[in-house]
Structures are given as C-alpha cells and as structure tokens.
Amino acid sequence: MTDPDLAMRWSTTARPDETAPTIQVHWLMANTVILRQGLEQTAEAPLLYLLFGEHSALLLDTGDHASRGDFPLRSTVDGLVERWLLEHPRAGYELVVAHTHAHGDHVAGDGQFIHRDATRIVGHGAAAVASFFGLHEWPRGTAEFDLGARVLQMIPTPGHHPSAVTVYDPATRILLTGDTVYPGRLYVDDFPAFESSLSALCDFAAAHPVTAVLGAHIEMTARPGRDFPRGSTRHPNEAPLTLSVADLRHVRDAAARVARRPGAHRFSNFIIWNGPCRREAALQRIRLQFSRLFGR
Ligand SMILES: [Zn+2]
C-alpha cells in the first residue's frame, strides 16, 4: 500500500483582485481526491473528498454557496471521474453524493448533481442518512459502505450537527471527520452527543489503523492557539489540515474538561465553542474588521 500524500499546498493568500482557482484539487492517492473551495468564493473554504471504488465513487460534501463567481463542482467532479475511468474503463460507474453533515456550507452544490446519470444523492436528515447507510442503531454502531473493493466504515458522530457522520477509509487509513474534528472552531450544538461521538471515534481509532484525521475546514493559523477571524477570506500561514489520532484524543479529553463551561475554549490546534459564545463572536467581528483594515 502506498502512503497518502498528505503534503497539501492550498492557495490561501489571494486578494480579491487576483484570480485564484475556485476549486483546488489534490490527489491524495491514485483513487482519492481532496477538493477545496476557494477562499475568494467563501470564507468557509470547505474541503470535499472524492473516493473511487471499483463500481462507485463517493463524493463527500458539495461545498458552500459561492459569494463571487460560479462554483463548478459538477464539471470538476465529472472531469475527475472521466480521468479515473480512462485508466479504469468500465460501464455503469455510479456516483454517490453524501455529506459529513447537512449545514449549508457542505450541501450547497447538491443541486448540480440532481439530473446526473447513475447518481444517488443521500438525504440530509439523520433518519435519511441512517437508512441509506444501514446505521440501524443510530447514533450508535457502524455500517459498511462498499464502493467496490473499498469498504468504508460509516460512523454516526452527531454533536456539531444531528446527522453528522465520520467516514473511515481503510484504503488510505484516514478518518474523514467533517466539522466534528478539524483544525479550527469546533462549534458544538449538542454537547453530550459531541462527547459520545468523540469517545466512539477514539474507540474506533484504537481498534483500526488510522494514519490521519482529516476534517472539512482549516481555521487555525500555524501559531498554536491562534485562529483566523471568522469570515476571513485570507489565510496566510495556515495550519495543516492533517490531525492525528493523538489530536483526536486531545479533542475528546478537552471536551470532557469544558463540558460544563459555556464559552470558547482555546487549545493549540482547535477551539471548542460550547454554546452560543456571544462574547467570543463579538471579539471575532472586531478581529475581522481589524484584519480587513490592516490586511492581517
Ligand atoms: Zn462547515
């Protein structure tokens, strides 16, 4: 097995007068692509994943609404599928469009796939997700989802969002954690569910080989404990996307410590937002204004 190429270089410093790619593409391995929507289009700059199996590909998330320009996700994905099929010719190749969770910045491109041939789009609610993947004990248990010689494990991880799932891919030994765990602000909607999900993920990682934990955003700078202000469309000196199993355990332990303390809690490579965090949100607005005025 070759190792995934985790040395990603994202374009993060474009100013509005520069032309930057609206979707960046990184081949993690021969059968695995990471896509990232440009910061020029949305400050969320979400990361999307495309996994190729023998009979189906999984597109995990469809991005955010573009504030400027078009978001050509469908043509980009079609091009990547075509390229893969050129090297692996076969008929009736299917695309499954699923989501780490159903917040707007992860499902906005769904409509581009509605009339695509051989395509299934997973619904957004917890019941739809549980039924599609056969997660009959939701929010507990796991289910296998076979792309053809690539059997993914689907793990319910509500807490940030009620229908959140984490995907484990044995081909890359990577956990795709969406907005549950990533180098940024972990907004917790349901804290007990968040804690249970983190503990399930840590148990899973203890029982399976995991080389990396990849989420759906990057909001931390490379400076420990420091994030880019919310809404920032420039990310100079951005933290790496890749987290480790040790980071995952750190998030679990940190969450247990702050469970009864509403507010924003900073750690070296993530921040836990427990509750609405109005004071922190106000500070973020001031920091954003400051960064826009002074360009940092
Ligand atoms: Zn998100």
Q: Cα of 216 to ligand 1 centre, how many Å?
A: 6
Band of the pLDDT at 15, cuts 50, 70, 90? low
Is position 216 within any domain? yes
Q: Cα of 169 to ligand 1 centre, how many Å?
A: 21
Band of the pLDDT at 14, cuts 50, 70, 90? low
Tell me: pLDDT of 163 over 60. Answer: yes
CB 104 within 8 A of CB 138: no
> What pLDDT is stored for residue 1 in this prediction?
61
The pLDDT tens digits of the residues spanning 205-253 come to 999 999 999 999 999 999 999 999 999 988 999 999 999 999 999 999 9
Mean pLDDT (the chain) is: 94
Q: What stretch of H or E contains 152?
A: strand 151-156
Amino acid letter, residue 159: G
Q: Cα of 57 to ligand 1 centre, how many Å?
A: 22
pLDDT, average across residues 67-83: 94
Nearest-angstrom CA–CA distance, 213 and 243: 5
Q: Which residues pair with 272 in a beta bridge?
A: 186, 265
Is position 18 within any domain? no
Enter the tokens of residue 149. 């010689």
Q: Cα of 177 to ligand 1 centre, how many Å?
A: 11
Q: Cα of 161 to ligand 1 centre, how many Å?
A: 10
Q: Cα of 63 to ligand 1 centre, how many Å?
A: 9
Is position 255 within any domain? yes
Nearest-angstrom CA–CA distance, 75 and 94: 16
Q: Cα of 4 to ligand 1 centre, how many Å?
A: 24
Q: Cα of 15 to ligand 1 centre, how many Å?
A: 22
What one-character-per-residue DSSP string does 170-217 give?
Answer: TTTTEEEEETTSSSSEEEESSHHHHHHHHHHHHHHHHHS--SEEEES-
* CATH code of residue 166: 3.60.15.10
CA dist 175 to 71, 99, 169, 205, Å?
26, 14, 7, 9
* Number of separate domains in the chain: 1
Is position 2 within any domain? no
Question: Which residues, 6 or more positions from 121, have their beta carbon under 8 angstroms from its beta carbon?
Answer: 97, 110, 113, 114
| Domain range enclosing 139 | 23-294
Q: Cα of 35 to ligand 1 centre, how many Å?
A: 14
Is position 17 within any domain? no
Enter the tokens of residue 145. 């989802």
Enter the tokens of residue 277. 């965090």
Which residue stretches of the chain are H helix?
Answer: 73-87, 104-107, 126-133, 191-207, 245-258, 278-294
pLDDT, average across residues 182-208: 98
Is position 12 within any domain? no
Enter the tokens of residue 112. 């581009």
CB 55 within 8 A of CB 148: yes
Is position 9 within any domain? no
Is position 16 within any domain? no
CB 152 within 8 A of CB 58: yes
Global confidence as pTM: 0.95
Tell me: pLDDT of 16 over 70. Answer: no
Tell me: pLDDT of 132 over 80. Answer: yes
Nearest-angstrom CA–CA distance, 66 and 26: 20
